[in-house]
Structure 1
Amino acid sequence: MEFFSTANKSLIKDINTATILQIVRTKGPISRAEISKLTGLNPATVSSNVGSLIENGLVRETGIGASSGGRKPMMIELNPDAYYVIGVDMGTTDVSTGITDLEGRIQHKVTLPFGDRTEPEEILGVIRQSIRDVMAASGLETDRFIGIGMGIHGLVDPDRGISLYAPAFQWEDVPIAEPFSREFGLPVTIDNDARAMALGEKWFGKAAEVGNFVFLNIGTGIGSGIYVNGELIRGAHFGAGEIGHIRVQDTGERCFCGIVGCLSTLASGPAIERQARHDASAGLAPHLLQLAGGEPGRITGELIHQAALQADAYAIRLLDEAGRHIGSALSVIVNLLNPEMVLIGGGVSNGGDFLFDGLKEEAALRSMANNIKKTYIGPAGLGDDCGMIGAAALILRSVFRNPNQYNS
């Protein structure tokens, strides 16, 4: 009986401490009295738990606050420099790795290309090097790091730390978390890259106050992270959110998934570039070809956007068509889930209004009016760093769920 009593007390303390830390993170600077009022915990419990958080460095006293009639209170805030997290954003062509503080702010980052590598050990070797590079650049001691979060391309089993299927590299069932944890001596948590990005927006971006939203990652591939009632959805077999494989037309290139007309084959970064290069070679995009120095192979997404900004009709039409394909697929999600917000990130989102105007119009045309009229659709808040910040958040959420594990 004593064991269960002790275990219950320990659990309650963990819950109380986590609750207080979340309040400090989201509301700080804040007084102990305000924490007591917001949580319903008695002042003695709040003081005891705040004392523990101060002792392990997660929060700090920041000075005297304004009086509401009695003695002026001591204010408490998160100590963002107490620990650091490594966030790894694995794409299909490169890896971006950053170090964040406890507030998700990137302190150092590095991007390394994969080149023509496709084998698991080759790709994971580049990722290992990126982690070594960014840790060395930070100058921080190893004990200042509390974990490595990794957003991984493709289907991922976060519970076992395994890449189930990475379509760009055609590999299956590759262990990632355990080997990286063993090598770096740190906890490692992995998830699909788009879900990690959605988590980043929930913790540190535009979706902080939103319970139902969809994050679309539109880059070298197209995927999404879905929040329903405040919970990140993975699906029964970790395949939730594969919006890139919604069929949006009956003809076109066959996708690696076996379907013709997938959104990814029409509106991903590589798909848009392929179309532009083909049309430039056929003489259909003269201004774009001129910007590329007469070499269709040098046409990139950035160059297409530049041409659109210069009022090139072809580039404007190409980005508009891509946006409409995305809007068509998005309408399926809007009608099915009725989200409050749709955030769009990844390189293609840099197309701006040339992309978003057609996207919003097509989504509205194909969605129930009641479902779309109050849905915000726009660019994500964290920009190009969203993948790294979201990956770091995979570790940060465990800190805030159980801060007592970091007692010094």
Structure 2
Amino acid sequence: MRVPRKTGNSKLVKKLNKEEVLQQVIQHGQISRADISKQTQLSRPCVSALVDEMIQEGLLQEVGMGDSRGGRKPILLEYNYQAYAIAGAIFEGSTLDMTIANLKGEFMARCRKRLDQPANGERVIEDLVAGLTRLLADSGMSHDQLLGMGVGLQGVTQRGQGTVSFSPSTGWMDSPIQEALEARLGVPVIIDNDVNLMTLGEYVRGVGVGHSHVVYMYVGTGIGAGVILDGQFYRGSREAAGEIGFMMIGPEQHRRNGASGVFETHYSVPGIMQQAEGVLSDLQEGSSVIEELILHARAGSVQAQTLLDDVYRHWAYGMANIVSILNPELLILSGEMVHIDDEGVKKIQEWLTEWVPKVPCLKKATLGEQAGLIGAVHSVLEAFPSTRLLDKA
């Protein structure tokens, strides 16, 4: 319980008192004016005046009657999570996935777009602008209600500098991409690596909840990892931690234009599909190559089973390297790895038990394609605390 502030600049005191009121409403979910007064030790007339003003500003709303304690039933107040919005965007391979969410992080609208290949940085920005315009229209929110956007990019991002130091797929090499996005979108932008945002999403809403030492391993058009140690993201000295696609796992080769590492060249989805060309003749676009290999292996294909075992074993090599260095309590398998069957998971568990002294819990990601968007939205919520809404109101 905090003592009310009674001295100093009146505008500052009023703002601080409004922060107290707002925090009480958010903390309790629903609360009456009388209980806010009791919790903050602000007078009832003061609380009523502040609440009325915050209702006018759209930050609070009355949501019905509470239980009576002998007198009139109190009117309950609730934080208006629809007052403002947050946008999120994730680039994964040739796809741009976008959403707009309320202040609870709940999606109000979502859209996906296939990007032209090869990707062009300027065209990608235009796709973001068009997508945001569509999301605002679909959600019924105005641009003025938008607090910011979190954007997940492939490559090595420097969040503090707002640059991407390594992203051959877009050409954004050491360019001030955050500044360019903010200029075109007209809102504050937070950039981060796409897998980091997927990791954050699974950490705050998925199987990572309740764990402090987590590694999220992702296999898609590339291979990457997000690392959370003692509840904090570990990014490395140049924010390149988790670029496990460059592990020396698989046949050594010269990197083409510096784009891909050895591990992801051979054991990302495109690498596996290339190896499966002689095994899977009818793989449809959008299908899981692992699911198809499993089906063919169960139907008696020795080639499919051999390739499947090879993929599992090399993925397990990557896991063993991660576990040996970071000793996580939870290793989340995501992307194409969510299609590993029970038999495959058992094999990987057995290999890891043989290779490393302490095997973490292995769990498949549960949020699917939503993980990165949830992380993008959450990154803005973290950077834009609720009390700052008082400045915007």
State the TM bucket, normalised to the shorter chain. Answer: 0.7 to 0.9
- The CA distance in 1 between the partners of 2:34 and 2:306, in whole Å, is 58
Match of residue 380 from structure 1 = 365
Match of residue 206 from structure 1 = 207
- The CA distance in 1 between the partners of 2:353 and 2:287, in whole Å, is 26
SS in 1 for 2:237: coil
- The CA distance in 2 between the partners of 1:34 and 1:357, in whole Å, is 54
- The CA distance in 2 between the partners of 1:62 and 1:173, in whole Å, is 49
User: Of 329, 338, 341, which aligns to 1:340?
Assistant: 329
Residues 180-232 of structure 1: per-residue CA shift (max 9 Å, x gap): 22222211111111111222223333323322212222211111221122212
Match of residue 302 from structure 1 = 288
Contact residue 21 and residue 400 of structure 1 kept, 8 A: no
Residue 185 in structure 1 maps to residue 186 in structure 2:
yes
Match of residue 220 from structure 2 = 219
Alpha-carbon shift at residue 10 of structure 1 (Å): 9.5
- The CA distance in 2 between the partners of 1:11 and 1:229, in whole Å, is 34
- The CA distance in 1 between the partners of 2:36 and 2:210, in whole Å, is 19
Residue 99 in structure 1 maps to residue 100 in structure 2:
yes
Alpha-carbon shift at residue 237 of structure 1 (Å): 0.8
Gaps of 5+ in 1: 293-297
Residue 325 in structure 1 maps to residue 325 in structure 2:
no
Match of residue 274 from structure 2 = 274
Match of residue 295 from structure 1 = none
Cα 1:321/1:299, change in 2 over 3 Å: farther
Letter paired with 2:352: A
Match of residue 149 from structure 1 = 150
Letter paired with 1:262: V
Match of residue 118 from structure 2 = 117
Alpha-carbon shift at residue 130 of structure 1 (Å): 2.6
- The CA distance in 2 between the partners of 1:338 and 1:229, in whole Å, is 11
Which deviates more from structure 2 when the two are superposed, residues 147-156 or residues 109-118?
109-118
Contact residue 161 and residue 176 of structure 1 kept, 8 A: yes
Which deviates more from structure 2 when the two are superposed, residues 213-222 or residues 397-406?
397-406
Contact residue 267 and residue 323 of structure 1 kept, 8 A: no
Alpha-carbon shift at residue 54 of structure 1 (Å): 5.9
Cα 1:315/1:73, change in 2 over 3 Å: farther
Contact residue 207 and residue 363 of structure 2 kept, 8 A: no
Contact residue 29 and residue 77 of structure 1 kept, 8 A: yes
- The CA distance in 2 between the partners of 1:316 and 1:65, in whole Å, is 62
Which deviates more from structure 2 when the two are superposed, residues 11-20 or residues 77-86?
11-20
- The CA distance in 1 between the partners of 2:343 and 2:30, in whole Å, is 41
- The CA distance in 2 between the partners of 1:168 and 1:353, in whole Å, is 35
Cα 1:9/1:129, change in 2 over 3 Å: same
Cα 1:16/1:368, change in 2 over 3 Å: farther
Match of residue 139 from structure 2 = 138
- The CA distance in 2 between the partners of 1:19 and 1:159, in whole Å, is 28
Corresponding pairs, count = 380
Residues 140-167 of structure 1: per-residue CA shift (max 9 Å, x gap): 2222221111011101111122121103
Structure whose alpha-carbon radius of gyration is higher: 2
Please state which structure has a larger fraction of its residues in helix.
1
RMSD: 3.9
- The CA distance in 1 between the partners of 2:43 and 2:208, in whole Å, is 31
Which deviates more from structure 2 when the two are superposed, residues 53-62 or residues 330-339?
53-62
Which deviates more from structure 2 when the two are superposed, residues 42-51 or residues 88-97?
42-51
Contact residue 323 and residue 357 of structure 1 kept, 8 A: no
Contact residue 335 and residue 367 of structure 1 kept, 8 A: yes
Contact residue 254 and residue 260 of structure 1 kept, 8 A: no
Match of residue 239 from structure 1 = 240
TM-score, length basis structure 2: 0.79
Letter paired with 2:311: A
